[in-house]
Amino acid sequence: MPYPVAKHPYMLAATDGEPARRFYDIIVIGSGIGGLTAAVGAARRWKVALISKSVLRDTTTFLAQGGIAAALSEQDSPQLHLEDTMRAGAGLCKEEAVRILVNEGPDRVRELMEICPKFDRSGGDLVLASEGAHSVPRIAHAGGDATGSEVASALAQAMRSGSRVQVLEQEFVVDLLTSGGRCVGAVSLNLRTGEFTLDYASATVLATGGSGQVYSLTTNPAVATGDGMAMAWRAGAAIGDMEFVQFHPTGLYADESPIFLITEALRGEGAYLLNHAGERFMVGVHPQAELGPRDVVVKEMVKQMSAAGREFLYLDATHLDCQKIRQRFPTVYETLRDRGFDICRDRIPVAPVCHYMIGGVTTDLWGRTTLPGLYASGEVSNTGVHGANRLASNSLLEGLVFSDRIVRDLDRYAGASGGSARRLTIELPAPATGKNEPAQLADIRRRLQKLMTADVGIVRDERGLNRALGRIGSLLEELEPPGASPEEYELYNLITVAGHITRAALLRTESRGAHLREDYPQRDDARWKHHINFRLKGDRREGEVFGGYG
């Protein structure tokens, strides 16, 4: 079927008035750890704009509890970190990218600690935690279980303290601007005034985060609507590994959005997973029991829930020292208390929940996408370090390491590209004649999320995936071309991402890492030890599938 996308490379339509124009050396889109790191680094030399759809703190980074993985102790090493990452990635990690991650990671984390001095220490020594599939404790954390907010706040302060970054909050980047086969900036909608602006730059860095809102149950904030992946694909960049969506084992089982995540570090401190008979079901399933790789734990949880006919299991920390738990996990303790649970006395109902998009915009080792002038970092990117299943707490590290590499490459690229963007003319499509009503948009979004959760969720099969593809296409047919509302743009982006996740999941006829096919339960290295990428060729609206990217 044709991929569900807008019928033009730009969703934005022509307007009666001339949009305003702004000119920068570098545009950074997104304010998580990848975007903030890129902006702080690039501003040392270039005039930079950082554009955020919401406010700076409204990111997945800010919600991160666990910490940052890096080989920082004497009993650890980059080689050991590499082996753990490769093992978790189920045969699809790009080894050269992983080597860069683990070798450059320790220095990047130490530099971060100079900006953010609140990393937890004991007697002057850094406290390192254990998490799933790590062979040694290597997770540096700040504020107990508030690493994301501490790191994001420190980076934002470092960015604001300089004078070369223009911070543009509540501006929705609708499309990337392209000319002559390269990215020359972006077009943004000011959510306060309703005005559009054409933002030109020598280079653009996508750091827009993930797409968890494509599912009805997710730990991701409301802004995680896959905007960067969708706009990069419309602009002609390759996206890859879209079938690999990581579900976290311990989302709080509750009727809320986003779902509250209970950090894996709690299991690292000794908490158990129990079934409805009160049994530790991971013992004997994996040598590390509850700290096995996330895909292994989630698969067994699904099995246990199915056998019991229930939608949740239990996380049990009642046997642990309560004072230590309260000190180590203040956010978890207080949040659960507000919801009526005492983690020191109660078993906590948990269920797997959409948490992280492993795939994304395909990049090389310097964060360069297949579209010249466009870079990508963080969850929106597909560097190859995560393979088919991300190792816990490698995500913040990826944003640090590859944004630093992007900044180094910007010094080469931006300096050589010159200021030709000022002379470009962008042709936009005619405005839509129909109108999508707000209630209709909300209804289609809910139906899409339920569809993806039911048919393209944790466990998949051919019948459900084909059904999902057909229904995604039907949802698109209910819509008029987007007008000028952020709700329309988000929905089109979600539909675009959902179509690619579903199509890739249908193509990969095996089970590997986070991708579980009930009808193809075995891993098939002979046929599927390669990657699935999609990109547009010219004006064709069909996806191209090809294996591998180096």
Catalytic annotation, residues: 294
Q: Maximum Cα–Cα distance for the chain, whole Å?
A: 69
Q: Are 474 and 451 in contact (CB under 8 A)?
A: no
Instruction: Name 516's bridge partners.
Output: 459
Helix (H, G, I), strand (E, B) or coil at 254: coil
Two structure tokens written together for 390: 């991300």
Rounded CA gap, 211 and 224, in Å? 5
Rounded CA gap, 524 and 505, in Å? 14
* Bridge pairing between strands 139-140 and 68-69: antiparallel
- Backbone conformation region of residue 358, classed left if phi is above 0, alpha if psi is from -120 to 50, else beta: alpha
Rounded CA gap, 324 and 212, in Å? 32
Rounded CA gap, 330 and 333, in Å? 5
- Backbone conformation region of residue 439, classed left if phi is above 0, alpha if psi is from -120 to 50, else beta: alpha
Q: How far is CA 44 from the centre of its chain?
A: 27
CB atoms within 10 A of CB 496: 27
CB atoms within 10 A of CB 269: 16
Rounded CA gap, 170 and 52, in Å? 6
Two structure tokens written together for 286: 């994996």
Q: Are 262 and 251 in contact (CB under 8 A)?
A: yes
Two structure tokens written together for 121: 């220490």
Rounded CA gap, 66 and 32, in Å? 16
Q: How many residues does the chain have?
A: 550
Rounded CA gap, 309 and 237, in Å? 43
Those residues whose C-beta lies under 8 Å from the C-beta of residue 117, and which sit 6 or more positions away, are none
Rounded CA gap, 37 and 401, in Å? 9
* Bridge pairing between strands 125-126 and 171-179: unpaired
Strands (E), 394-493: 459-460
Strands (E), 93-225: 121-122, 125-126, 128-129, 139-140, 165-168, 171-179, 182-190, 196-200, 203-206
Rounded CA gap, 317 and 80, in Å? 29
Q: Are 217 and 259 in contact (CB under 8 A)?
A: yes
